[in-house]
Amino acid sequence: MQTRRHLLETFVAAGLSATVGKASAQAPETIRIGFSAPLSGPFAINGNQMVAALKLFIEQNGTSLAGKKIELIVRDDAGVPDQAKRIAQELVVNSKVAILAGYNFTPVALAVASISTEARIPQIVMAGATSIITERSPYIVRTFVTQAQLCTPMAQWAAKNGIRKVMTMVSDYAPGYESEKSFADEFKSNSGEIVESLRVPLLSPDFAPYLQRVRDAKPDALFLWFPGPSSVAFSRQYAERGLHTSGIKLIGTGDVVDDQVLDQMDDSMLGIVTTLQYSAAHPSERNKAFVDGYKRISGGNRPSVLAVGVYDGMHLIYEALKRTGGSTGGDAVVTAMKGMAWESPRGPISIDP
C-alpha cells in the first residue's frame, strides 16, 4: 500500500486535494467527493487509469461549481472489499463527503452499498459491471456498463458467423458468471452449443490446464472474459500451447484486449473478435480530444474503458450538482441524475431513469 506521504505527494502534485486520515470539519461552501480505486496490489494498473481520467476531468472542468468548491479525496482500496468499506465509512463519518465515487470490481462496489444507503449518499460506480450492483442501493448510479450489454451482442455475432460450438472461459467471480450466462443464454437461443464452461481464479491465474481442455475439445470458438491485467499471461500461455494455429476462433469482451494491456501482448492475439463500449480509436472529435488529453496526463498511455467510465462519472456528478444548484442531498442528486443524457468520448450515452 502506498504511504500517506506518497499519496499526498501524488495527488497534491496533480492539482487534486488528497486528504489522508481524519479531516477537519467541512466548510459549508465545500462539496467533498470521496474517490476509491485500487492504487496498490495486483490491479493498481486499473487504479492508475482511473486516477489519470480523474485528473484530466478536474483539469478541464475546475474545482468550482454552483458557487461552491469541489474537493476530491482520493483513497486506495487495493481492490479489497473490506478495505473499501472501511474507507467509505471514514469518508462519510470523518471527511463528511457528499458523494462516494470510483469502485473497480463488483465485490468492492457491493461492499460499500450499505453505507451509501444508510448515509443516503450517492455512490457513483464508474468501473464495476455486474448487473446486480445498481439493485443493492437506491443511491447507486453507474457510468460503466453491464456484462450482458457486451456478451449478448457477441453471442449474436458468433451465431451469425457460422460458429456452432463454443467453450467459455471466465474469471471465477460475479462478473464472470454473468458473462458466462449472458453469452450462453443468447448463443443457445440461436441454436448454438456450449461445449463446456471453464472458470479461472481471478488472482494469479494459471491458464495452462484450461487451455489444454480447450485444445482437446476442439470447439469452433473460445469465448473469454477476464479483467485486462490477466490478458498478458493468457496470451503468452495461449501461444505457448500453439492454440493460435489450432483453428479455434477467439471471441470475447474487449477487456481481454483493452488498451491498457494491448501493447504487452504478442501477435498470437491477432484475429480475436470482441465487443466493448469504448475504444480509444473511436473517431469522434470529442474522443480525439479526450485521448490527446489523457495521453498528456498519463505520460503517453491510451485511455481504457475504465478511464472513460471515470470521466463520464465525473461529468454526471458535476451536471447533477448544477441541476440541484449545489445542493448535496442524496435524493435530490440521484433524482437529477436519472435520465441524464450527453455526448461522451465513447458516443451518446444516458442514465436509465
112 and 75 within one domain = yes
Is a pLDDT exceeding 60 seen at residue 75? Answer: yes
pLDDT at 14 over 90: no
Question: Quick one: average pLDDT of 92-103?
Answer: 98
pLDDT exceeds 60 at position 264: yes
Q: Residue holding cell 468499506?
A: 85
Mean pLDDT, rounded, for 14-35? 61
Residue 281 lies in a domain: no
Farthest-apart Cα atoms in the chain, separation? 65
Q: Tell whether 305 is covered by a domain.
A: yes
The reply to whether 92 falls in a domain is: yes
Residues 90 and 154 in one domain: no
Q: Residue 16: its pLDDT value, please?
A: 59
Statement to judge: residues 155 and 205 lie in one domain: yes
Last residue of a domain, one of 275, 310, 338: 275
At residue 316's C-alpha, the angle toward residues 67 and 69, to 5°, is 25
In a domain, 191, yes or no: yes
Domain assignment of residue 213, given as a range: 147-275
Residues 258 and 318 in one domain: no
pLDDT in tens, 159-185: 999 999 999 999 998 899 999 999 999
Where residue 3 falls among pLDDT bands split at 50, 70, 90? Answer: very low
Whole-prediction pTM value? 0.87
User: Do the Cβ atoms of 160 and 136 come closer than 8 Å?
Assistant: no
Residue ending a domain, choose from 275, 300, 328: 275
Q: Are residues 105 and 153 in the same domain?
A: no
- pLDDT given for residue 242 in this prediction: 87
What one-letter code names the amino acid at 246?
S
Q: Is residue 21 domain-shared with residue 139, that is, in the same domain?
A: yes
For residue 21, the model assigns a pLDDT of 38
State how many domains the chain has.
2
Whether 168 and 233 share a structural domain: yes
233 part of a folded domain? yes
Domain boundary among 275, 295, 320: 275
Pairing state of beta strands 68-76 and 64-65?
A: antiparallel
Q: 219-245, pLDDT tens digit by residue? A: 999 999 988 778 888 988 998 888 888
Asked whether 35 and 103 are in contact (CB, 8 A), the reply is: no
Q: Which of 262, 279, 259 is nearest to 346 (CA)?
A: 279
Give the CATH number of the domain where residue 177 resides: 3.40.50.2300
What angle, rounded to 10 degrees, do the helices at 81-93 and 106-119 form? Answer: 30
Q: Are residues 247 and 184 in the same domain?
A: yes
pLDDT digits (tens, 9 = 90+) for 304-352: 999 999 999 999 999 999 999 999 999 999 999 999 999 999 999 999 9
Do 64 and 176 fall within a single domain? no
118 lies in the same domain as 215: no
- Least confidently predicted of 25-29, 83-87, 106-110, 208-212: 25-29
Instruction: Report the phi/psi class of residue 340: left, alpha or beta, with left for phi > 0 and alpha for psi in -120 to 50.
Output: beta
- In this structure, the answer to whether residues 101 and 123 fall within a common structural domain is yes
Q: What average pLDDT score do residues 108-119 get? A: 98
Whether residue 280 lies inside any domain: the answer is no
Residue 212 lies in a domain: yes
Q: Are residues 231 and 318 located together in one domain of the fold?
A: no
Instruction: Tell whether 52 is covered by a domain.
Output: yes
The amino acid that residue 83 corresponds to is Q
Which range has the worst mean pLDDT, 18-32, 89-103, 176-190?
A: 18-32
- Take residue 168 and report the three cell numbers written for it: 467459455
Mean pLDDT of 8-14: 40
Q: What is the pLDDT of residues 274-301, one digit of tens each?
A: 999 999 999 999 999 999 999 999 999 9
Selected residue with higher pLDDT from 130 and 26: 130
Instruction: Share the mean pLDDT of the chain.
Output: 91
**What confidence score (pLDDT) does residue 18 get?**
46
